[in-house]
């Protein structure tokens, strides 16, 4: 039951990332943008070259205020190609 409840509670964050006008994510061929993967208790966000980390933090902070969730921002990693 806890997995289902977690999925329901994290979906608003996923929706906010997917519909963000500021974050473009990564475009793959003719598909929609790849912006986030959510699994277990981890969230992976893909930012495009022109995306600003500050915009991502604003979305996360809004989600945390609304849901009382906490993100471990120290755990963030940056990978570039």
Contacts of 35 (CB under 8 A, 6+ apart): 17, 18, 20, 23, 24, 25, 26, 45, 46
pTM above 0.75, yes or no: yes
Q: What are residue 44's DSSP bridge partners?
A: 37
Tracing tokens 């992976």 back to the chain, one arrives at 44
Rounded mean pLDDT for each run of 10 residues along the chain, 81 residues in total: 79 93 89 82 88 94 90 66 53
pLDDT of residue 81: 53
Distance CA 24, CA 54 (A): 13
pLDDT of residue 75: 66
């Amino acid at each position: 039951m806890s997995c289902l409840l977690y999925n329901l509670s994290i979906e608003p964050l996923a929706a906010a990332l997917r519909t963000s006008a500021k974050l473009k994510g990564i475009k793959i061929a003719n598909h929609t943008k790849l912006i986030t993967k959510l699994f277990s208790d981890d969230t992976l966000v893909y930012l495009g070259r022109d995306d600003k980390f500050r915009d991502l933090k604003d979305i996360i902070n809004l989600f945390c205020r609304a849901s009382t969730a906490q993100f471990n921002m120290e755990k963030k990693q940056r990978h570039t190609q």
